[in-house]
Amino acid sequence: MVFRTELFYKPNSIKLDYSSNVFTIGSCFVTEIAEKLSRYKFSVLHNPFGILFHPLAIENALMRIYSNEEYQPAEIYKHEELYLSWDHHSSFNNVSSEKILSQINKNIQKANHFLQNTDLVIITLGTSYVYKLKQFDLVVANCHKIPNSQFSKILLAEHQIKTSLKNIIEMLKDLGKKGMKIIFTLSPVRHISDGIIENNLSKSRLLCAIHSVVETYENCEYFPSYEFLLDDLRDYRFYKEDLIHPNKFAIEYIWNKFKEAYISEEVLPLMKKVEKIIQALKHKPFNPHTIAYKKFLYSILKDIQEVEELLPQTSFRQEILELKKRMQDSY
């Protein structure tokens, strides 16, 4: 007896290994994939503008990265005690205009360099709704918890989304290395604050636009993270308590589907060794001053030394520093 409609996904020829560079940008769901890749020590640059939900914000971010155009002081705004950028997530907000400007421009330079050597770009779209700041007639990436009365809410038409996605692809093709691949995904996180019907309308426009554009470009494809949660798992057991965001079981399921589709089988044994090291580092001893614990720390360091030559440079730098500190503290 069958109790669910399982989705079987067959990707194209994209296969990642530890020589691959991966650039991720978009809504909060792409963060989950980026964190998984980073956990296993793949070379990843994630959301240099912070979380971005709609295609116009992603297009604008990539335009600034593509042109390597730094932000100027006049583009930083102050609200109450914090300085902010309308093109960035609120995680950039700072009490110092100099600090926020410095961080933003460093990220642009880093992203421009990284994208020139990127093998795979993953873009996750979250919503078709955009907010336009009335004062400047400006579509913003984030409202920064400023009152809704200062914004106009607009639902993008499908043709607007298609145009934005095509612009994104063309910029990436021009900036990136030959053979760069682009994966589009639709975030399975439902924007309930828009309304359930409105969320479905928003997602459907994104989905239609993505498929239309992907069919046009040979270097693009669609990864069905949205369908894996809503049609394959299809149960509130796989959501967090807010009944909106996927929980750890759903994320792990979708990650495994991504891994099967896009990661070379040849690196799976090395990924297992990385996971073993990560799990060992979580161990907290009852007594950190025993000889047994010192031997345990040295064994982890030895395991790192055995694998780090096969991984991107300085992959375990933080872990090695932590181990050396633990070793010092154990005396």
pLDDT digits (tens, 9 = 90+) for 84-136: 999 999 999 999 999 999 999 999 999 999 999 999 999 999 999 999 999 99
Provide the pLDDT for residue 326. Answer: 81
Burial zone of 281 (CB within 10 Å; 0-12 exposed, 13-18 middle, 19+ buried): middle
**pLDDT tens readout for residues 156-175:** 999 999 999 999 999 999 99
* Cα 88 from Cα 81, distance rounded (Å): 17
pTM: 0.94
Q: Of 157-166, 234-243, 255-264, 319-328, give the range with the top mean pLDDT.
A: 157-166
> At which of 245, 263, 281 does a domain end?
263
* Cα 327 from Cα 68, distance rounded (Å): 43
- Phi/psi of residue 132, nearest 5 degrees: -110, 125
* Cα 6 from Cα 11, distance rounded (Å): 16
> At which of 214, 244, 263 does a domain end?
263
252 in a domain, yes or no? yes
218/122 same-domain check? yes
| pLDDT category of residue 10 using cuts at 50, 70 and 90 | confident
3-state secondary structure at position 153: strand
40/75 same-domain check? yes
Mean pLDDT of 57-80: 96
Mean pLDDT of 261-274: 94
Q: Bridge partners of 183?
A: 122, 221
165/276 same-domain check? no
* Cα 162 from Cα 72, distance rounded (Å): 30
* Cα 205 from Cα 161, distance rounded (Å): 8
Domain hosting residue 228, numbered range: 21-263
308/166 same-domain check? no
170 in a domain, yes or no? yes
259/274 same-domain check? no
71 in a domain, yes or no? yes
183/158 same-domain check? yes
| pLDDT category of residue 285 using cuts at 50, 70 and 90 | confident
252/290 same-domain check? no
CB 26 within 8 A of CB 42: no
325/278 same-domain check? yes
**pLDDT tens readout for residues 292-313:** 888 888 899 899 988 988 898 8
133 in a domain, yes or no? yes
Q: At 248, which CATH number? A: 3.40.50.1110
5 in a domain, yes or no? no
48/117 same-domain check? yes
Q: Is residue 331 pLDDT above 80, yes or no?
A: no
3 in a domain, yes or no? no
* Cα 265 from Cα 118, distance rounded (Å): 20
Stronger pLDDT, 10 or 232, i.e. the higher one: 232
Please report where in the chains the tokens 């399975």 appear, as a residue: 188
222/283 same-domain check? no
Residues in the chain, overall count: 331
